[in-house]
Amino acid sequence: MSKLEQLKEKLSDHSAVIGIVGLGYVGLPLSLCFSGAGFKVIGFDNDPEKPRKLNRGESYIRHISDKNIKVAVTAGLEATSDFSRAADSDVLILCVPTPLNDNREPDLSFVLNTTDSLLPFLQTGQLIALESTTYPGTTEEELKPRIESTGLRVGQDIALVYSPEREDPGNPDFTTRTIPKVVGGSTAACLELGTLLYEGVIDQVVPVSSTRVAEMTKLLENIHRAVNIGLVNEMKVVADRMGINIYEVIDAAATKPFGFVPYYPGPGLGGHCIPIDPFYLTWKARQYGINTRFIELAGEVNSAMPAYVVAKVREALASQNKSMEGSEVLVLGIAYKKNVDDMRESPSVEILQQLQDAGVKIAYCDPYLPVFPKMRKYEFDLQSVPFDAPSLAGFDCVVISTNHDLFDYDLIREHSKVVVDTRGTLNPAFENVFPA
């Protein structure tokens, strides 16, 4: 019996050791999912603080409780920064970032450096799965040659699959297990093993014909959202100029039982997927001589929204006979979406930067982020101010940027001098509310 045949048996009886590389918003929930299904899990991360916390039974992601971590650790979950432990794993699942560089081109350094660090420890009979969002061809053009440089043949000695992550942090309606999982294999044998792997922990697995199809699937999902959000953001600007409440329009349109899906405007795009993924495809498409004008236009609209919000702040301050220079503005919510502590690509940060550049004295309030975290592009020495009536009343303008459920919106309306509302949380008929 070949080593890959042996791996089939291990996956079937859940005796396989699952290595999860990257213990962030994708890798940590996936680790808990495999652990909960009875698999032995080893988690890997370059940041030594994450393994230390996990091994103590502590979580560092708000929507994942310490209790869930302790249950997994008791069941045998280990976390480490020692990548030589990859040799102890039957499966290695890569869940590392795929950002853009300064030229808005794909930055695969995390994926490629992680793969290179694993190469010395790869074994016959292992399965490698990439979950990081990327352009079509990455698995075959980048990972496969690196793996085969070790002498291992993909499809015969070792299996290689691509299965895009579909995590939605903080969404109570879906879990890692209940979100269907798309899987593409480098070969038919790889696909069979990849399907078997995820069927052990996911309710519905969707096999596709190739890794390139799986890679393109993830991009289409997020481009679909980016384009439609771009459309509704543009509609918001038009409706505002016409004195129409765009949220009332969307809610009315959503009563149509077919042919319409409601998307809601905001201060810009945030998160690890929607602001980034479309540009992975536009970059790859240029190699085929294709200009993805529709995608790039949506990107332009969405990228312009923070500046639109800042213009609204200027208008709101002017209504109070104040200028931007020297005014004090409070931004409510700096996470990229409500009820999470995830800052990745948050438009709130760009709003803060543009306000500061305009001479505004900035502050923020976010119950999930008491201290402004370190970021690659931005640097603010700020701490979250209290959320209470005196604090709200002390600012010249309050901007609702992230609509956390913990915020008391009646309190905001009653005690703020003027409010710029980017999320449609307050009735725009109120005198001191400026929809943005």
Write the single-letter amino acid at 26: V
Quick check: do 210-303 and 305-436 share a fold?
yes
Give me the mean pLDDT over the 158-165 stretch: 98
Write the single-letter amino acid at 5: E
Q: What is the pLDDT of residues 182-222, one digit of tens each?
A: 999 999 999 999 999 999 999 999 999 999 999 999 999 99
Angle at 89 between CA 128 and CA 214, to 5 degrees: 20
Name the DSSP letter for residue 60. Answer: S
The catalytic site residues sit at 273
CATH topology of domain 3-208: Rossmann fold (3.40.50)
Q: What is the pLDDT of residues 22-44, one digit of tens each?
A: 999 999 999 999 999 999 999 99
Q: What is the pLDDT of residues 264-317, one digit of tens each?
A: 999 998 887 888 889 999 999 999 999 999 999 999 999 999 999 999 999 999
pLDDT at residue 431 tops 70: no
Cα-Cα end-to-end distance for the chain: 64
Give me the mean pLDDT over the 139-145 stretch: 98
Q: Rounded CA gap, 162 and 313, in Å? A: 44
CATH of 210-303, one of 3.40.50.740, 3.20.190.10, 3.40.50.720, 3.10.110.10: 3.40.50.720
Tokens of 347: 């438009």
Query: Taking the model in full, what pTM does it have?
Result: 0.92
Q: Rounded CA gap, 9 and 106, in Å? A: 37
- Percentage of residues in the chain with pLDDT exceeding 90? 89
Domain spans of the chain, in order of start: 3-208, 210-303, 305-436
Confidence of residue 432 (pLDDT cuts 50, 70, 90): confident
Query: Which phi and psi (to 5°) does residue 3 adopt?
Result: -65, -35
Q: Is 100 exposed, middle or buried (0-12, 13-18, 19+ CB in 10 A)?
A: middle
Write the single-letter amino acid at 432: N
CATH topology of domain 305-436: Rossmann fold (3.40.50)
Q: What is the mean pLDDT of the chain?
A: 95
> What pLDDT, on a 0 to 100 scale, did the predictor assign at position 430?
63
